[in-house]
Amino acid sequence: MDQNISFATVETIRALLDRGQITATQLLEYTLSEISRTNPTLNSFILITESLARAQAEAADARIEQGKPVSPIDGIPIAVKDLYDTAGVVTAGGTAAFEKRTPDYDSYVVGKLQRAGALIVGKTNTHELALGGTTNNPHYGPTHNPWNLENVPGGSSGGSGAALASGQVSLALGTDTGGSVRIPSAFCGVTGHKPTYGLVGKSGIIPLSKTLDHPGPMARSAFDCALLLNQMTGRDINDPDNINFDFSTDFTQNIKKSVKGITLAIIPSLLVDSELGVTQSFTRSIEVLEQMGVNITEIEPTTNNELNTEDTRRYDSEIAWGEPLPAIIRNLSPILLSEGSTYIENILQTKPHLIGQAVRERMMRGIDISVHDYIRALDWRKEIESRFENCLLHSTIDGYIVPTSPQVAEPITSDPHVGIEPAVKFRNTSVFNHTRQPSISVPNGFSNEGLPTGLMITTAQKNDALALRIAHQYQLNTNFHLSRPPVYE
């Protein structure tokens, strides 16, 4: 084995395992060696679970030797964001307040993946309590972007993004409350999917906002994200939002079908003030999609009254729907901050010093939000969800396309304890946490400084298969997802 396997697809690794050309144990030892070699520079992992992974590898080898792998990811290492409970393993959520928190049970997703034979190799660094987009963690140190070690990997799933981009692992878990799967995917040049809200069970995941949290798969390709998503879904009896889904869906079944003839809509207000490199990459992406036979149009879902029923216009007198979409989304900030602060209210009141300054200050603002502002924001969120869904369900439009973020990865601050970041970073991604629609980020180019950019594709709720199919077909017509950071070429 050499570095080529570090960047191999899951399909390739699966074939090598099934043919006996490598064993799961050999693959694991190589993975652990690569993590040991590169992690001092990247700080993508904050905890390695060697004993657990070795026991899992031995069990996987026994199954594979008998020709009975239990899933396509049986025997394949995976990185787990430090929000997912793993029995007997510290799950701290990136904060000193939980530094000794050791759950007795797996989160729903980790339990599913263990039963699918995945090898849990460790916990990846996260922005503290998932509230931020840099992964400049004041307790565990900043994670570095493999494309430029002086820059952030994005967040809050920055450790998972960096682990994938550097070839430490081929699969990883993230969570997405305002873009925390898709932002690091864009910044690190990998692929990340935010599923339809509720499709993946949330029980056993340290919450930020239960209204907006989405567990999601991260990989280097849309196809591998689909493979991983297949193993993450199912009925989570401890998550009341995880209902009314067809959990038998195979997200790879139709992924290779052409997308010729579908229609994707640009949202112009989400292009404003984008950095030059982002705009250039997006323009080229449109050209590629049109060459693929995709129809491109434009729409502003919040102001398109032709598709909004009388019922969906009931808030017109309370919120200025004629404002640009980003201004409307800012009205919804009480949801995240009030829910996030409520979960750790006792810590904020009794041991606030255990939470880093930047996150602590934001959480404290959440405590002061009135119940009236919170309830009003919840109602407006539902209104935005309705308008965005109507545009897809009652028109010829199949999905939305915008840049994942208006910017590329910014430099790591000289003081990671501060964690200040551009406010515009989450502008595009957060919209689709509120609409609860499936949304995937794929690599679509580079800035003049060589930093990755991302294309975000969003479809109607419960149509994750289409979002993944469009992303996969786009990747068949481009090679950005195959690019490696220069140091790993």
pLDDT given at position 303: 83
Residue 433, domain member (yes or no): no
Token code pair at residue 207: 């919450």
Q: Give the pLDDT band (50/70/90) at residue 321.
A: low
Instruction: Indicate the pTM of the whole model.
Output: 0.96
* Sequence-ordered alpha helix ranges (H) in 95-188: 108-115, 158-165, 182-188
State residue 240 phi and psi, 5-degree precision. Answer: -65, -15
pLDDT (tens digit per residue) in 91-102: 999 999 999 999
- What is the DSSP annotation of 325-375? HHHHHHTTHHHHHHHHHHHTHHHHHH-GGGS-HHHHHHHHHHHT--HHHHH
Establish whether 156 is a catalytic residue.
yes
Least confident of 91-95, 136-140, 401-405, 411-415: 411-415
Q: For 103-107, what is the mean pLDDT?
A: 98
pLDDT above 70 covers a percentage of the chain that reads: 93
Q: Check whether 359 has a pLDDT greater than 90.
A: yes
Q: For 188-212, what is the mean pLDDT?
A: 98
* Residue 25 lies in domain: 3-258+475-488
Residue 34, domain member (yes or no): yes
Cβ neighbours of residue 160 under 8 Å, at least 6 residues apart? 44, 79, 81, 124, 172, 173, 174, 184, 218
- C-alpha 209/C-alpha 362 separation (Å) is 14
Q: Give the pLDDT band (50/70/90) at residue 260.
A: very high
Q: For 116-134, what is the mean pLDDT?
A: 97
Residue 409, domain member (yes or no): no
pLDDT (tens digit per residue) in 164-182: 999 999 999 999 999 999 9
Residue 335, domain member (yes or no): no
Residue 66, domain member (yes or no): yes
Establish whether 274 is a catalytic residue.
no
From the list 79, 91, 231, 76, the residue with the least C-alpha distance to 160 is 79
Residue 129, domain member (yes or no): yes
pLDDT (tens digit per residue) in 44-102: 999 999 999 999 999 999 999 999 999 999 999 999 999 999 999 999 999 999 999 99
- C-alpha 192/C-alpha 182 separation (Å) is 5
pLDDT (tens digit per residue) in 215-255: 999 999 999 999 999 999 999 999 999 999 999 999 999 99
- C-alpha 233/C-alpha 230 separation (Å) is 6
- What is the DSSP annotation of 197-221? TTSS--TTB--S-TTT-EEEEEESS
Q: Check whether 419 has a pLDDT greater than 70.
A: no
Catalytic residue among 81, 112, 194, 462: 81
Q: For 147-165, what is the mean pLDDT?
A: 98
pLDDT given at position 101: 98
Catalytic residue among 6, 44, 107, 156: 156
Residue 265, domain member (yes or no): no
CATH number (domain holding residue 184): 3.90.1300.10
- C-alpha 205/C-alpha 81 separation (Å) is 10
- What is the pLDDT of the chain when averaged over all its residues? 94
pLDDT given at position 489: 72
- Domain total for the chain? 1
Residue 35, domain member (yes or no): yes
pLDDT given at position 317: 47
Catalytic residue among 180, 269, 285, 405: 180
- C-alpha 124/C-alpha 94 separation (Å) is 9
Chain-centroid distance of CA 313 in Å reads 31
